[in-house]
Amino acid sequence: MPLLGQGHTPATVHAEPSHQEIQRTVDRSSSTALATAKRNISFLISPGDARNVPGKFRTRAFLKACHYLGVFLFWRLVRYAKYAAMGAIVAGISATAFGSVVSGAAFFVAPPTFAASTGVGVLWMIGKWGFRKAAARTRGGHQQETQTGHVVPVPEPTFLGDTFE
């Protein structure tokens, strides 16, 4: 402790804080930091909860951005995991005798060229149109196909022979 008369006045001489005072200050600040961290983590998990909103705008914006980035990355990982699982299933099936029998179906599922893709698409369109027409004929009654390709029933003619179109 400095002595008086060496440039210090009695107003500037401070006693050093005791160990208990230091410990209380540390406990107060650590409990506040712990409460703030808990509140921020709660906001990070659920930004819509009004009880856990941080006081500073920058903190809110940062935590909200981290939340949405985490959600995006989680679902991206789930997507890639599904692709990996499907690839493993297809590889497992194609390694069996069943896979060797139906290997020609791969041409229709994933055509190798643009021309083959176009051809498979046209065949699919013709087949879909044909089955729709056949279904309309087997249902009976008067039916017509709309501009969008849907088959709708046509009302029966009235007693005067007029039709509603």
The pLDDT of residue 10: 54
The pLDDT of residue 68: 92
What digits encode the pLDDT tens for the residues 98-128? Answer: 777 776 777 667 777 888 888 888 998 999 9
What digits encode the pLDDT tens for the residues 126-151? Answer: 999 888 888 777 765 555 666 666 66
* Beta carbons of 52 and 42 less than 8 angstroms apart: yes
Tell me: pLDDT of 69 over 90: yes
The pLDDT of residue 114: 84
66 Cα distance to chain centroid: 15
Listed residue (38, 39, 45, 37) closest to 64, CA to CA? 45
What digits encode the pLDDT tens for the residues 9-68? Answer: 555 556 677 767 777 776 666 678 788 888 888 888 888 877 888 888 898 899 999 999
Name the strand (E) or helix (H) holding 63.
helix 57-94
The pLDDT of residue 82: 94
Distances (CA, A) of 83 to 21, 53, 106, 107, 156: 60, 37, 17, 20, 52
Domain range list for the chain: 111-158
**DSSP category for residue 50:** G
The pLDDT of residue 39: 87
What is the rounded distance in angstroms from the CA atom of residue 152 to the CA atom of residue 107?
35
* Beta carbons of 145 and 130 less than 8 angstroms apart: no
Sign (positive/negative) of CA torsion 126, 132, 134, 137?
negative
**DSSP category for residue 157:** P
The pLDDT of residue 72: 95
More confident residue, 39 or 160: 39
Helix (H/G/I), strand (E/B), else coil: 144? strand
* Beta carbons of 141 and 153 less than 8 angstroms apart: yes
Distances (CA, A) of 52 to 33, 47, 58, 59: 14, 8, 15, 12
How large is the average pLDDT for residues 151-164? 57
Tell me: pLDDT of 73 over 90: yes
59 Cα distance to chain centroid: 24
Tell me: pLDDT of 84 over 80: yes
